[in-house]
Structure 1
Amino acid sequence: MYVYLLTNKARTVLYTGVTNDLERRLYEHSQNMGDAGKFTSRYQCNLLVYFEVCADAVQAIAREKEIKGWSRAKKEALIAALNPMWSAIDLQSWTGE
């Protein structure tokens, strides 16, 4: 399971989500599929800037809720800890470094 954060090119919007298949979910966001696709489409929020792996769905959902309750500044600090430049993460070439 994954918890992930998306942003737009201007970095003005953050979207927090949870999924069991990150590649598939990113594709769905890019194609404006599902309820989350409505939000990400409206705000052009499709750049993956952060994700973490969780052991199971219960842990992932709890973590998603925790992050959603945070201030914008705390979310920005979380992203910066993994991805200081807020570069779009390409899962095909991701090394975790």
Structure 2
Amino acid sequence: MRQGYVYILASRRNGTLYTGVTSDLARRLYEHKHDLTPGFTSRYGVKTLVWFEVHDLITSALTREKTIKKWPRAWKLNLIESVNPDWDDISHYLL
């Protein structure tokens, strides 16, 4: 099994949020930032990585993503601000 990532993208501070899961976060961010996959993120301009979490197993990441998607918006905002209070693009941490 391979590792997985759960991530949250934002259009801007306190803007539209997108929660996703992937086994290759760098590739997936490239797809989001360049509108390579039609859908929610390209439609609403959601491109800034504001939070992510690494899991040893993709299955664990999928479970965590489903849990976070069910959370109230306020909980997601608190999660982001607990590690990224300025809502900076943290994609450079992947390099």
**What TM-score do the two structures reach when normalised by structure 1?**
0.86
Instruction: Determine the structure 1 residue equivalent to 2:81.
Output: 80
Find runs of 4+ consecutive structure 1 residues off by over 6 angstroms.
Answer: none
Residue 73 of structure 1, CA deviation = 0.2
Task: Tell me if the contact between 2:14 and 2:77 (Cα under 8 Å) persists in the aligned partners.
Answer: no
Question: Quick one: distance in 1 between partners of 2:40 and 2:89?
Answer: 19
Question: Quick one: distance in 2 between partners of 1:51 and 1:90?
Answer: 9
Matched, 1:11 2:14: yes
Matched, 1:30 2:16: no
Residue 52 of structure 1, CA deviation = 0.4
1:41-52 alignment runs, 5 A limit: 41-52=42-53
Relative distance call for 1:84 and 1:48 in structure 2 (3 A) is same
| Greater relative CO, 1 or 2 (CA 8 Å, sep 6+) | 2
Identity of aligned residues (%): 48
- The unaligned stretches of length 5 or more in structure 1 are none
Task: Tell me if the contact between 2:49 and 2:90 (Cα under 8 Å) persists in the aligned partners.
Answer: yes
Q: How many equivalent pairs are there? A: 91
Residue 30 of structure 1, CA deviation = 1.5
The amino acid of 1:23's aligned partner reads A
Residue 10 of structure 1, CA deviation = 5.1
- The unaligned stretches of length 5 or more in structure 2 are none
**What TM-score do the two structures reach when normalised by structure 2?**
0.88
The amino acid of 1:8's aligned partner reads S
Q: Aligned-residue CA RMSD in angstroms? A: 1.5
CA distances 1:19-65 after superposition (whole Å, capped 9, x unpaired): 1111100001122223xx41101110000000000111110000000
Instruction: Determine the structure 2 residue equivalent to 1:2.
Output: 5
